[in-house]
């Protein structure tokens, strides 16, 4: 399919003015995408088949104004960046949750802009970096919310994106700088969409960074962080439906929520 860049720009609420460098376009697209299109696993949780066909991803995330998880989000971002003239390809990644790396069940992107290479990701939920990270090792990079660094690894992965928590850097996303094939993403998507061991089958997870904080749902608990102040809610049944609509812009009317 030909990518409708105008509709994508309308969805994220930004478009280039014509005077930006490639790196500035990349940064703006990632930031506006991740703060406009929520991370959410509702289809996986509700046993709905998730298609990675480009036209289906565009229809869901852009035309129907839903969100999605990494295989959808970063596929859309990759297509948008290439359409904007920024060479980008997808890679598989392993996730670390305060322990060893898991399987290759995450998608991220490598982009080249103004002669530099960047890691671009809009599909990792709450701790995802809201601005691209330069693919340079052993330097601290900040998105204004968290500190990150990329380090070389000797086993399981080639590189690790680490996040600083409580004064120490810990592994978050591990990857090889090798373009993945579509079938690789299909395999990872099948697991996350269908395996009973997939966290997305167990509970609702949603995240949307904002200019002043972040909005999240984890199981039946929602948190709104705004200007450093957290407000917590319990959201089940119709309260969850209302919260999704009002806070995430996700309309689930007519859908039975577990």
Residue by residue, pLDDT tens for the chain (258 residues) are 799 999 999 999 999 999 999 999 999 999 999 999 999 999 999 999 999 999 999 999 999 999 999 999 999 999 999 999 999 999 999 999 888 999 999 999 999 999 999 999 999 988 999 999 999 999 999 999 999 999 999 999 999 999 999 999 999 999 999 999 999 999 999 999 999 999 999 999 999 999 999 999 999 999 999 999 999 999 998 999 999 999 999 999 888 887
Question: What pLDDT sits at residue 70?
Answer: 98
Question: What pLDDT sits at residue 59?
Answer: 98
Question: What pLDDT sits at residue 98?
Answer: 83
Question: What pLDDT sits at residue 30?
Answer: 98
The answer to whether the beta carbons of residues 76 and 70 sit under 8 Å apart is no
Question: What pLDDT sits at residue 60?
Answer: 98
Strand order across the beta sheet in which 88-96 lies = 133-134, 116-120, 101-113, 88-96, 168-175, 159-165, 147-152, 141-142
Angle at 9 between CA 93 and CA 74, to 5 degrees: 10
Question: What pLDDT sits at residue 78?
Answer: 98
Could you write out the three-class secondary structure of the chain? CCCCHHHHHHHHCCCCCCCCCHHHHHHHHHHHHHCCCCEECHHHHCCCCCCCCHHHHHHHHHHCCCCECHHHHHHHHHHHHHHCCCCEEEEEEEEECCCCEEEEEEEEEEEEECCEEEEECCCCHHHCCCCCEECCECCCEECCCCEEEEEECCCCCCEEEEEEECCEEEEEEEECCCCCCHHHHHHHHHHHHHCCCCHHHHCCEEEEEECCEEEEEECCEEEEEECCEEEEEECCCHHHHHHHHHHHCCCCCCCCCC
Nearest Cα residue to 209 out of 34, 26, 55: 34
Q: How far is it, in rounded angstroms, from Cα 217 to Cα 238?
A: 14
Question: What pLDDT sits at residue 256?
Answer: 83
Architecture of domain 5-196: 2-Layer Sandwich (3.30)
> Which residues, in sequence order, are CB contacts of 161 under 8 Å at separation 6+?
119, 129, 133, 148, 149, 150, 171, 172, 173, 174, 175
How would you classify the pairing of strands 205-210 and 168-175?
unpaired
Question: What pLDDT sits at residue 1?
Answer: 72
How would you classify the pairing of strands 213-218 and 221-226?
antiparallel
């Amino acid at each position: 399919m030909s990518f409708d860049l105008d509709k994508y720009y309308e969805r994220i609420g930004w478009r280039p003015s014509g005077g930006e460098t490639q790196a500035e376009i990349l940064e703006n697209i990632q930031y506006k995408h991740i703060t406009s299109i929520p991370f959410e696993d509702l289809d996986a949780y509700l046993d709905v088949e998730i298609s990675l066909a480009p036209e289906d991803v565009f229809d869901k995330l852009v035309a129907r104004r839903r969100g999605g998880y990494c295989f959808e989000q970063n596929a859309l971002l990759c297509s948008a960046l290439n359409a904007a003239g920024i060479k980008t390809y997808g890679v598989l990644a392993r996730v670390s949750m305060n322990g060893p790396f898991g399987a290759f069940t995450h998608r991220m992107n490598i982009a080249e802009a103004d002669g530099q290479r960047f890691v671009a990701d809009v599909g990792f939920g709450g701790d995802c970096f809201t601005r691209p990270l330069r693919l340079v090792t052993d330097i601290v990079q900040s998105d204004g919310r968290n500190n990150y660094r990329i380090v070389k690894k000797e086993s399981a992965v080639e590189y690790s994106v680490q996040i600083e928590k409580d004064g120490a850097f810990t592994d978050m996303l591990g990857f090889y700088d090798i373009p993945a094939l579509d079938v690789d993403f299909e395999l990872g998507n099948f697991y996350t969409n269908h395996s009973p061991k997939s966290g997305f089958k167990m509970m609702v997870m949603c995240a949307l960074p904002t200019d002043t904080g972040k909005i999240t749902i984890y199981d039946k608990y929602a948190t709104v962080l705004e200007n450093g102040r957290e407000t917590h809610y319990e959201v089940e049944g119709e309260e969850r439906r209302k919260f999704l609509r009002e806070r995430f812009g996700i309309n689930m009317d007519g859908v039975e929520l577990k």
